[in-house]
Amino acid sequence: MKIMLKTVNDISTAPDKNGNQKCIKKAALSRKAFEIHEIDGPEEMLGKKGEVIKGMCRIKYKDEYFTIKHTFDEILKLTSPIEVRGFRHG
């Protein structure tokens, strides 16, 4: 199942002759579609002083890391297996 998540990106210029890039805008928001079953291990984001940043987390998707503007708990609920109560097998 696909879901749309808000990703946080830095926008930069094309590399010049020396290979240097200049940052135009930091923390620009965009949306990206993700397959839920391909999202691995959400991680909490930490600030400069070691405090947890609320409302943001980092996910691994197809060997690439994305910073998203969704809470850790929200992503954990989406990616965890569904528990069916009252059903016995065997």
- Full-model pTM: 0.74
Per-residue pLDDT of the chain (90 residues; tens, 9 = 90+): 899 999 999 899 999 999 899 999 998 999 999 998 899 889 999 999 999 999 999 999 999 999 999 999 999 888 887 777 776 665
Listed as own residue / partner, the contacts of 64-68 with beta carbons closer than 8 Å and 24 or more positions apart are 66/5, 66/7, 66/32, 67/7, 67/8, 68/5, 68/6, 68/7, 68/8
